[in-house]
Amino acid sequence: EGKNSHITSRGVAIFARSPIGIQGIKKRKMKPNATEPDPSRLIQGLVDVPGWKPFVCSATYGKDSVGMNEENRQLLADLSVGAQGQEACFHLAAGDFNIDPEVMQASGFLTKSGMHMVATQQATCVTARSSSVRDYFMTCARGRPLLQEVKAISEYPSSPHKPVQVVFSERAANMK
């Protein structure tokens, strides 16, 4: 409502250290009248870690303060559809979903998409008035056993969101 109400903050990225490679995913066929996902809210790539089979990685930024509205439902549908048909061993989606884990669970998206939520119990979004979990990971059934731990990095000097880290299990190294 103020002087800068037209300014929005959003953006997603996937970074990898050398020698890890990232390439674009295969374009999927769009339904008639469908639009491409907003690249400032969803980006997907095929990640190639030496010694592993490639996997799909998605970075997502849900619309805030609206919960599971139509725009966020479409973003989740795009996330799920984008990973289909890729030659990958699993799908890992990271995001500031801006949706409480309980709401995500109750929405039916996880069941319908075959994804599993992997969230920390630590607050990932902390303000003077509240703290909540808004940032977490989702993965498919094949990816779930490969994730050992998810944690918010509370000592990182960011506000209001804290970075969230996923730690792969030793089992992930055997994905050859």
Average pLDDT on 74-87 reads 87
Q: With b meaning 16 or more CB within 10 Å and e meaning fewer, what string describes 96-123?
A: bbbbebeebeebebbeebebebbbbeeb
Give pTM, 2 decimals: 0.85
d(CA 37, CA 102): 25
What would the pLDDT profile of 117-151 be if each residue is shown by its tens digit? 999 999 999 889 999 999 999 999 999 999 999 99
Average pLDDT on 98-124 reads 94
Of the chain, the percentage scoring pLDDT greater than 70 comes to 88
